[in-house]
């Protein structure tokens, strides 16, 4: 099936498309970006009547350099919430980034389609991917993104999303409501491309390791 046209979707389903080889544990780091409170903070006091500025928040994960093909070596990924808490932006970087609109690596001739997936989990009691944000591309459509949710083991389209590539970082931006406006989330990033012939998967890389998640990101 294809995720174009009728938007039937296939993704990196645990057990079906995910590699089974155990990967070494990843270096996991969390970055909290805080905006300073309006007014002076010196001498342990703030200016009278100063209003607080809501902070930008993000969490990120890093992945060690691999010995395989650098174009599919996922090095870092993150998810950030906008200042007004209305939008999420997921991002990823490869060791050797490639233009997703010009290479067969991003197009492929078979399923599952190549691209980057951010598996989103909102339940501390579960290790499942409840939603998936996807970065896909081909020479005709260019870069595109969408958000899907798992329903009885199958992915169903929830929202179309804005996808972009700036020469270094791949990003997908979408409204928080696309994932049900939860209180918090954590994620795992997964990437796979294809050989230049369009056949044969390159990579299958996770950040952090398979079965692991980032730290939690508060959305409220």
Beta bridge pairs of residue 205: 191
Number of structural domains the chain divides into: 1
3 state SS of 42: helix
Q: What single DSSP character describes residue 36?
A: P
In a domain? residue 187: yes
Q: Percent of the chain, pLDDT > 70? A: 68
CA distance 77 to 214: 9
Q: Which DSSP string corresponds to 73-112? A: -EEEEEEEE-TTSSEEEEEEEESS---TTT-GGGT-SSSS
CA distance 177 to 158: 10
Q: What is the pLDDT of residues 22-52, one digit of tens each?
A: 333 333 333 322 222 233 223 333 333 333 3
CA distance 7 to 199: 22
- In contact, 64 and 27? CB cutoff 8 Å: yes
Beta bridge pairs of residue 92: 77, 170
In a domain? residue 58: yes
pTM over 0.75: no
* pLDDT bracket for residue 114 (50, 70, 90): confident
- In contact, 38 and 53? CB cutoff 8 Å: yes
- In contact, 159 and 147? CB cutoff 8 Å: yes
Beta bridge pairs of residue 131: 120, 149
In a domain? residue 23: no
Residue 144, H or E segment:
strand 142-151
Q: What is the pLDDT of residues 169-192, one digit of tens each?
A: 999 999 999 999 999 999 999 998
pLDDT tops 80 at residue 156: yes
Quick one: average pLDDT of 108-137?
87
Quick one: average pLDDT of 7-18?
45
Q: Which among 20, 26, 10, 29 has a CA at the least distance from the CA of 209?
A: 26
In terms of residue numbers, what domain contains 195? 28-36+52-218
In a domain? residue 129: yes
In a domain? residue 7: no
Peptide bond into 112 cis (omega under 30): yes
In a domain? residue 178: yes
CA distance 195 to 203: 10
Quick one: average pLDDT of 7-11?
47
pLDDT tops 50 at residue 206: yes
In a domain? residue 137: yes
In a domain? residue 180: yes
């Amino acid at each position: 099936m294809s995720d174009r046209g009728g938007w039937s979707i296939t993704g990196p389903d645990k057990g079906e498309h995910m590699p089974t080889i155990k990967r070494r544990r990843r270096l996991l780091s969390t970055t909290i970006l805080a905006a300073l409170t309006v007014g002076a903070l010196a001498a342990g006091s703030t200016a009278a009547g100063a209003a607080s500025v809501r902070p930008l928040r993000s969490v990120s994960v890093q992945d060690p350099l691999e010995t395989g093909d650098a174009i599919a070596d996922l090095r870092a990924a993150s998810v950030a919430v906008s200042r007004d808490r209305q939008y999420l932006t997921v991002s990823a970087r490869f060791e050797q980034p490639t233009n997703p609109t010009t290479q067969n690596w991003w197009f492929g001739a078979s399923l599952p389609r190549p691209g980057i997936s951010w598996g989103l989990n909102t339940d501390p009691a579960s290790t499942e991917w409840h939603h998936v944000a996807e970065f896909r591309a081909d020479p005709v459509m260019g870069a595109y993104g969408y958000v899907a949710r798992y329903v009885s083991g199958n992915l169903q389209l929830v929202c179309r999303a804005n996808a972009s590539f700036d020469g270094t970082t791949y990003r997908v931006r979408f409204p928080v409501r696309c994932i049900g406006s939860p209180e918090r989330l954590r994620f795992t990033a997964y990437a796979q491309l294809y050989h230049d012939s369009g056949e044969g998967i390159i990579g299958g890389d996770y950040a952090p390791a398979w079965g692991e998640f980032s730290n939690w990101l508060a959305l409220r």
